[in-house]
Amino acid sequence: ELQGLREQLTQAEKLSVLGQVLSGVAHEINNPLAGIMGFSELLLKDNFVKEHPKIHEDLASILHEAVRCQKVVKGLTIFSRTHKPEKTNVSLNELIEQSLKLEASMLRTRNISLLLELDPGLPGTMADYYQLQQVFMNLVINAQQAMTEYKGRGRLTVRTRLRGSRIQAEVEDDGPGIPPENLRRIFDPFFTTKAPGKGTGLGLSLSYGIVSEHGGSLRVESPPG
């Protein structure tokens, strides 16, 4: 238990230091990004560009990648702790159900069956609805991708329960699991096992930051097999 607490503290310290650096970096990157996006949008409306499909296509690619960079930078700002969660009284069960509705069609088309085990007596909790929704959607998408790549189908289980004075939520999949050598690294920013271009390595570290900001903890269990 002490070792687990030490690991949580180490992770929190890493995110704290990273946040101080990223706060300044994000500010410096946003200004030139805004220029790139602005001029790209103006050029895409230019008649000369419209008459040359290849140039139009290249400019559209520049704009698309700049927007992607902007989203990554925006996500990084959570580590700086400059934006505190806007908390309201939230039903975690309802939040999970709404989040899964957004992913329902994706799960169906990828042959993922869904099992919900939500405690009906779960009390409300003070939380930022959209930040926690981001956490659950990220966990669901990660699970779906792992199962699809592993065997083209799978079973996703999401459960909630009250443990003493704390609310516990679990997202479980029957994919390949996580190799032991990666277990200690999955919450590290920019660590990813996905192919280049398919993941930024920020999803789980952002989720870790969000849950920590809410006074909670995020942990992983992945026994062999």
Q: What is the mean pLDDT of residues 60-81?
A: 75
How many whole angstroms separate alpha carbon 18 and alpha carbon 209? 11
- Tens-place pLDDT, residues 87-117: 899 999 999 998 888 888 888 889 999 999 9
Partner residues linked to 115 by β-bridges: 157
Neighbouring CB atoms inside 10 A of 143's CB total 22
Q: At residue 77, does pLDDT exceed 70?
A: no
Residue 15: which pLDDT band, with cuts at 50, 70 and 90?
low
Residue 78: which pLDDT band, with cuts at 50, 70 and 90?
low
What pLDDT was estimated at residue 95? 94
> Is the pLDDT higher at 81 or at 210?
210
Please give the C-alpha separations between residue 104 and each of 13, 88, 95, 131, in angstroms, as whole numbers: 36, 26, 14, 20
What pLDDT was estimated at residue 157? 96
Q: What is the mean pLDDT of residues 3-25?
A: 68
What pLDDT was estimated at residue 186? 82
Judged by average pLDDT, the poorest of 17-31, 51-65, 108-122 is: 17-31
- What is the chain's mean pLDDT, rounded? 84
Neighbouring CB atoms inside 10 A of 203's CB total 20
Q: What is the mean pLDDT of residues 184-194?
A: 75
Judged by average pLDDT, the poorest of 75-79, 169-173, 206-210 is: 75-79
Percent above pLDDT 70 for the chain: 81
